[in-house]
A and B are shown apart, each in its own frame.
Chain A
């Protein structure tokens, strides 16, 4: 058991506990905030492994922008203080959701556990190496992803604008 092992285990535990609380809590905004804890745990794991850039970008994009957006949407719609009883679901649906989650976890564990080695190793990966990989080897998937996101953005704009035009013409 090295210090790295301990740090990795602590971050991993933080991510797992944060994730579990995010899906089980009855408070909507608390769920978003537990998601932040889970993401910080994952970022911590990446830091321990030496992937500094990936960890920081994870925090910058997911915590700094996406969770802020989620919180914004929650506050705009309905985010009561205290447990949200409007969206209560029957017990059998909770059981089904739990079973689906457990099955996914089991599948992932079955696939990943045989690959796990012994002690946690730290590999210093320079930012240049990450950049060369993304913009060299993986440039086509990267570009395809960005085109996909752009298409989604334009489609969202078209949906929101198009309906308004219809309403105007209908009047």
Chain B
């Protein structure tokens, strides 16, 4: 790989990393507004407020960057980057089309899972280093939630990889058949729910419950550092939606996938992202004990049953 190619690939991933989360964010603004009988942003940029998030970004950049006096300065300042950078790495490993991925490695499924699990550390660091009781409580809740939901998530991905016989995401898409929509359905449901919980999106937003904990681990953050946490959340939605599309919906498979494959991947991922937004509007926040009960009594057995089902299927068809 030449230097030029490395630069081009890196710039492409960075551009996707900066554009897609904004796209999902804007969709959330408008879609949520219309679901609730509002119009949402209408002013910024002229046409239906398309530039709202750009304006928000400018606003965040102008705000003062405050570090509380009692905070652990270094960890407080580094935490947003720890939350953000792993998603950049994860996005680089997602394949768009056969042979089109910024980094195509044999174990890309594990790479994506490993890097998203590192991102969780950023939330913990932020919550602890803020020297704020609300932030600490939020971090505790998010740690409990992340540890519980990591297991079903990994098991669901393991099931898809087992069915495909490879740990490479492109390999999973190559092996995908429409039958997977039924065969891998329990795993897909487990993955979607666990991914929502990993992202701490409603109905799993107990760690940042604004009525109880102000903003949870992010309470003390202002300006760009706060914006980085928001960007990490939306980049997380993009990564998990694309991962869902690649693992369970066949990625780039579709009509004319020689030329239009990348479009199929993006459209499927976008559809999953809309589902994620819809869940936020549709369901109220779950209580802490309900969260844990769902993870350990529902999702984990379901993921194990799916794993057994996949194992039986693989053995029978080979």
Contacts and interface: CB of A to CB of B under 8 A. Distances in A.
Contacts of B150: 64-65
A92 B59 CA distance: 55
B70 interface: yes
B299 interface: no
Contact of B114 (A29, A60, A69, A75): A60
Most interface-central of A68, A72, A79 (chain B CB within 10 A): A68
B114 A64 contact: yes
A14 B72 CA distance: 23
A59 interface: yes
A144 to B, nearest CB: 21
Interface in A8-56: 27, 29-30, 33, 36, 52-53, 56
A69 B110 contact: no
A126 interface: yes
A53 B107 contact: yes
Contacts, number: 84
A71 interface: yes
A82 B74 CA distance: 12
Contacts of B127: 75
Given A52-B105, A60-B114, A81 B121 contact: no
Contacts of B154: 60
A71 B143 CA distance: 8
- At the interface, is chain A mostly helix, strand, loop or mixed? helix
B143 A56 contact: no
A30 B72 CA distance: 10
A71 to B, nearest CB: 5
B117 A72 contact: no
Interface residues of A, number: 26
A30 B129 CA distance: 10
B157 to A, nearest CB: 11
A52 B106 contact: yes
Contacts of A71: 121, 124, 128, 143
Contacts of A57: 110, 114
A81 B72 CA distance: 6
B131 A81 contact: yes
A127 B164 CA distance: 14
Given A56-B111, A68-B146, 20 more contacts: A27-B72, A52-B106, A53-B106, A53-B107, A53-B167, A56-B107, A57-B110, A57-B114, A59-B115, A67-B121, A68-B117, A69-B147, A71-B124, A72-B124, A72-B143, A75-B128, A79-B128, A81-B71, A82-B72, A127-B167
The 4 closest A-B pairs by CB, nearest first: A64-B117, A72-B143, A60-B114, A59-B114
Interface of A: 27, 29-30, 33, 36, 52-53, 56-57, 59-60, 63-65, 67-69, 71-72, 75-76, 79, 81-82, 126-127
Interface of B: 70-72, 75, 105-107, 110-111, 113-115, 117-118, 120-121, 124-125, 127-129, 131, 136, 139-140, 143-144, 146-147, 150, 154, 166-167
